[in-house]
Structure 1
């Protein structure tokens, strides 16, 4: 498996510790890995940031991410945050069934998500669309500010920036929890990650 080959033992143990920090066991991590092997190719920081947003900000169970580990691959500012805020509004208004999944709506295409969770609630659709778009725009502003800062400080090597997919690059710009220097400790390991993305 490409994911297992890319993640060395020390980094694997680090990621197990992140799962444990959020109340999950190594067995939970293995379940997530079996369902979606690439989820373990994310940095420790991204896994922690996704858990942090999911549990501390939204108040959702960390077990839900284990059920849908592809969530770790998703962009926080472009997918997880906007959609989760829409779902939270719907819950607050009592418009979703109790115990409805928070993970499965994130898996849907944007058109299907908007149709079902925004336009599907005609009375609230303009407010839901506003929540969704505002969240997306805030992500863009943050990205632009981070990019300006990174360019100024010359953090990235040009060839690495050209190799990274848009979603990964957006993640690097958005999160404040990412220790940028950690990405470059093992250039070969990072290069392998880039190939898989």
Structure 2
């Protein structure tokens, strides 16, 4: 039987206080809430053609009940420090801009992986870089991370441009690491970038 080296947030020796809201110069990052369901679904629906290529979960817009359950679980995992997902909003909290956060958490190190997607109507404005820069500093300075990773499909040039601009090092290119989100017959390479402290 294999041994899972990941320690759950509940059994980790170190669980920091995590802010449920963060502000960047132009955006509000907020812990997920079931009240976000309609805004989240609207953003996904507008963005499906772009998201389908990169996100397995974005192949179709699921039922409202599934979105509500996803958000209930995301809030629960945020509170237990298992997964720190943030929804990205306009500064007034009215317009849903995207989603980001720290995933793949291992509080023994501690370390996490930053993920992000920006709704299609808001792309091209530098928001992904802005939130990634903010989360990188927040993770290293306030959460005490010793390592932060960013992983992306090697074909996703827009995502792959961001980490080097923020001082991340390309650790590896994993060849034939995954299947394409929109075509399980195609194999894709994964890029792994990191910042360490």
| TM-score normalized with structure 2 length | 0.27
Q: Which has the larger radius of gyration?
A: 1
Structure with bigger helix share is 1
Structure with bigger strand share is 2
| TM-score normalized with structure 1 length | 0.27
